[in-house]
Amino acid sequence: MSLLKIYQVLLKYFGPQDWWPMQRGFHPRKWEVEVGAVLTQNTSWKNVEIALRNLKEAGIVSRESVRKIPEKRLANLIRPSGYYNQKAKKLRKLAEFSGDVTRENLLDIWGIGRETADSILLYAYGKPYFVVDAYTKRIFSRLGLIRSEWNYEKIREHFEKNLPRETKLYKEYHALIVELGKNFCKNKPLCRECPLSQLCKKV
C-alpha cells in the first residue's frame, strides 16, 4: 500500500478540495494564508473564518495594518479563534518579518512552529513542504504506515520521500487528509463507512 494509492482513493471519494481559498481582499493575497495559518492553531477553521471576517471588516488586511493596530484591539478582533492574546503577538511578529521566506527563517519567528511554517510555505508561497497535522498522525499510524512515536520531521520526511515533490499534490493530499479525519477517522473512528476501510490495519 503506497501513499500515492491512498491519495488516489481519497481524491476519488471526496473530489478536489482546492485549498486555500483567498477571497477576503487581504493584500498581498498570500497574507490571508499567513494570517489563517496562525489563527488555525488549536481551533477549527470555522472559528478562523469569523476572525478573518472581523479583520476584513476592520480594514486590517495587510502586514502594515497589523503592525500599526494596537495589540489589544487586534486580539479582540481575532478573539473567535481562541488564544487570542498569544495569536495577536504571533501575528505582530509575523507582520514585522521582512527576510527571505525560507523554512529556517519562519521557524525563527516567535510563535511559528513547524506545521504553521509548512502551511505558509505550501499554501502561500507554493513551496513543496508536506504539512503534518494531528489527522495525519492519527490516520497513517492506524494504517500502519508510520509509527505513533515518530515526531513531526520524521513524518514530513517520510511523505516527501515517498511522494512526487509536487506542490499541487501536497496541497490536495493535506486537504483530503483533513476531510477523512473530520468525517471518518475520528478519535472514535467510523471504520465501516471509511473509504480506506479495506486498506486499514485497524479494521
Q: What is the CATH number of the domain that holds 40?
A: 1.10.340.30
Residue 66 in grid coordinates = 497589523
Of 124, 147, 171, the last residue of a domain is 124
**Residue 50 buriedness (CB in 10 A; 0-12 / 13-18 / 19+):** middle
pLDDT score, position 199: 82
How far is Cα 141 from Cα 45, in angstroms, rounded to an integer? 24
Which pLDDT belongs to residue 202?
63
pLDDT confidence of residue 1: 75
The CATH code of the domain that includes 179 is: 1.10.1670.10
Q: Pull the grid cell for residue 147.
A: 509509527
Q: Which domain holds residue 152?
A: 3-18+129-183
155 within domain boundaries: yes
Q: What is the pLDDT of residues 44-57, one digit of tens each?
A: 989 999 999 999 99
- Clarify whether residues 133 and 114 are in a common domain: no
Domain count, the chain: 2
Q: How confident is the model at residue 203, as a pLDDT?
A: 55
Low-confidence ranges of the chain (pLDDT < 50): none
Cis, bond preceding 110 (omega within 30 deg of 0): no
Residue 191 lies inside a defined structural domain of this protein? no
Query: Could you read off the pLDDT of 128-142 as tens digits, one per residue?
Result: 999 999 999 999 999
Q: What is the pLDDT of residue 21?
A: 67
Are 97 and 109 in contact, with CB atoms under 8 Å apart? Answer: yes
Distant-in-sequence, close-in-space partners of 7: CB < 8 Å, separation ≥ 6:
163, 169, 172, 173, 176
